[in-house]
Amino acid sequence: MTTTSRRKFLKTTALGAAAAPLAAPAIAQSKITWRLQTYAGPALAEHVLDPAIRMFNQIAGDRMQIETYYSDQLVPTGELFRALQQGTIDAVQSDDDSMASPTEVTVFGGYFPFGSRYSLDVPVLFNQYGLDEIWKAEYEAVGVKHVSAGSWDPCHFNTKDPINSLADLQGKRIFTFPTAGRFLTQFGVVPVTLPWEDIEVAVQTGELDGIAWSGITEDYTVGWADVTNYFLTNNISGAWIGHFFANMDRWNELPDDLKTLFEVCCQQSHYYRQWWYWGGEASLRVNGTKMQLTTIPDAEWQTVEDAAVKFWDEIAAESETKAKVVEIFRKYNADMAKAGRPYRYG
């Protein structure tokens, strides 16, 4: 504020006219620099993060710049929350689950089984059904600013061997998110945790049988479609729930207009992904040549959907906050079912 007031004063006085050239070094010295790490590797970040940060940096100019780091570059993804809380990193793009957030809402981050059917479900749940308020309160309590939530792609399996029935999942070593893995173990899936950049090689060497991390757009974008042969059209969630977070102290230090600019650029990022994934999922199913599509019949897949309802009960029993979030998911999905087509089919 002192620098801003001085600049304003110099500009409105005769002394200011003479001294104006000397003000430039002060502007350069006052530039704010943030470090932001994403869960995504470089190829994926080119879409899910980079356009928004380039926009921010271009508009903010000499006042502020955000340096971006990709999956595991500064700290392992599982340590992102702690690094953010401590101020080692100024901002993070991730889901709660992957970054090991110690909040009551962590289990709902990433892919909460059948919590959503379509990508638009996520922003509606946060902006119209109350999830945003819960997330902000949970993170404020641990010194982190929850900036905003958005949707990514649905969660499908891409595998080396074909999956045509639930029996085909038995014993499959699958890279997936913690909560999704916890849910899928009842169907014989063996969840495996590895650094993101090691996944492609792990599939090639046989350490992994497949991946349940993304939709088909990511499979092609990051190279996983090159090492797996089949894509299962059934999914366990219609959209990944991810967020932008900031260290609370760094956030509070920002002028209000830079806070607004960051929020707007995050929203632009959410919008970009909304159409990039939605169009990509359809286009690559129709035009993609690298993976063969397989499907588990609806009647058999209903077993998985029924199991998700019991899983929700299990999660709701763990705490009052979790029960509140589960109730919102129940209410929302009941409303969508009553609304009928195109919100829900069947």
Q: CB under 8 Å to 82, separation ≥6 — which residues?
A: 75, 100
Bridge partners for 64 per DSSP: 32
Q: What is the largest CA-CA distance in the chain?
A: 82
Mean pLDDT by 10 residues, the chain (346 residues): 34 38 48 97 96 98 98 95 97 95 96 96 98 98 97 98 98 95 97 92 98 98 98 97 98 98 98 97 98 98 96 98 98 97 87
pTM of structure = 0.89
Chain segment 254-313, per-residue pLDDT in tens: 999 999 999 999 999 999 999 999 999 999 999 999 999 999 999 999 999 999 999 999
Sheet holding 155-159, edge to edge: 190-192, 173-176, 210-214, 155-159, 230-237, 292-294
Q: Are 31-151+241-279 and 155-239+289-339 equal in CATH topology?
A: yes
Work out the angle between the directed axes of helices 50-60 and 256-287 (0-180°, nearest 10): 150
Work out the angle between the directed axes of helices 131-140 and 320-339 (0-180°, nearest 10): 160
Give the CATH architecture of domain 31-151+241-279: 3-Layer(aba) Sandwich (3.40)
Tell me if 196 sits within 8 A of 71, measured CB to CB.
Answer: yes
Pairing mode, if any, of strands 241-247 and 91-94? antiparallel
Q: Cα–Cα distance between 320 and 259 in angstroms, integer?
A: 32
Q: What are the residue ranges spanned by the domains of the chain?
A: 31-151+241-279, 155-239+289-339
Q: Cα–Cα distance between 81 and 98 in angstroms, integer?
A: 9
Sheet holding 64-69, edge to edge: 64-69, 32-38, 91-94, 241-247, 144-151
Q: Which CATH class for the 155-239+289-339 domain?
A: alpha beta
